[in-house]
Amino acid sequence: MAKILAVDDSASMRQMVSFTLKGAGHDVVEASDGSEALRIAQGQGVDLVLSDVNMPNMNGIELCKNLRQLPNYKFTPILMLTTESAGDKKMEGKSAGATGWIVKPFNPDQLLTTIKKVLG
């Protein structure tokens, strides 16, 4: 049972992720872009952040960098949701401090398996 922050500008993706994670017994908070996510993260502690890369206002990479600046989020697992299997996007994520990635498209089971990796 963890508190997860799900960030994606696509409502259908957010809904799917939220539904899947809640079904597995987790608590989910949603945000539609990086700046909203950052505000939420500052206001409450979460155990895991799942974020899309391409979003308006603040993209996933920026969000990750900003989160890592917050004392509470130095070690929090942050997973990037990326459709790009290209190495450079993953590199960008890593250098921003991301823990890992999930490649889109993914199905609910893949999502759950992956977050198990970081939630233990």
Partner 1 sequence: MSIDLSQFHQVFYEESYEGLDAMEQGLLDLDLVDPDAEVINTIFRAAHSMKGGAGTFGFTHVAEFTHVLETLLDQIRSGQRAMSQGIQNLLLTSVDCIRGLMQGLQSGAEADLTDAHDLKQQFEAILSNETPADVSDETIDTNQTSVEEETGGSGWHIRFIPELTLLQTGNEPVRMFRQLADACDGQMKISVDTTRLPVFTSMDPEMCYLVWEVQVDKAIDRSVIDEIFEWVIDDAEIIITPLGESSVIKEVVEPVPQAIQPKEEKTLSKPVEKEKPSTKQPAKTQESSSIRVSIDKVDSLINMVGELVITQSMLGQLGQNFDITRVQRLQEGLAQLEHNTRELQESVMKIRMMPISFVFSRFPRLVRDVSISLDKKINLEMSGENTELDKTVMEKIGDPMVHLIRNSIDHGIEMPADRIAAGKAETGTVKLDAYHQSGNIVIEIKDDGAGLNTDRILQKAIENGLVAEGANLSQEQIFDLIFQPGFSTADVVSDLSGRGVGMDVVRRNIAALNGSIEVSSERGKGSRFVIRLPLTLAILDGQLVQVGKEIYIFPLVSIVESIQLDDLSINNVGGHSDVLQLRDEYVPIVHLDDIFNIANEKRPIEESIIVVVETDGEKIGVVVDELLGQQQVVIKSLEENYKRVDGISGATILGDGTVALIVDISSLTKMSGASSKIIDGSHKAA
Q: Which residues contact partner 1 (rule: CB under 8 A)?
A: 9-13, 15-16, 19-20, 23-24, 52, 54-56, 68, 74-78, 81, 83-88, 90-91, 94, 97-101, 104-109, 112, 117-118, 120
State the minimum distance, in angstroms, from the CB of residue 44 to partner 1.
18
| Residue pair 73/67 in contact by the 8 Å Cβ criterion | yes
Give per-residue burial for 51-88: e unless 16+ CB within 10 Å, then b. bbbebeebbbbbbbebbeeeeebeebbbbbbbebeeee
- Minimum Å gap between C-beta 77 and partner 1 is 4
Shortest spacing between CB 112 and partner 1, in angstroms: 7
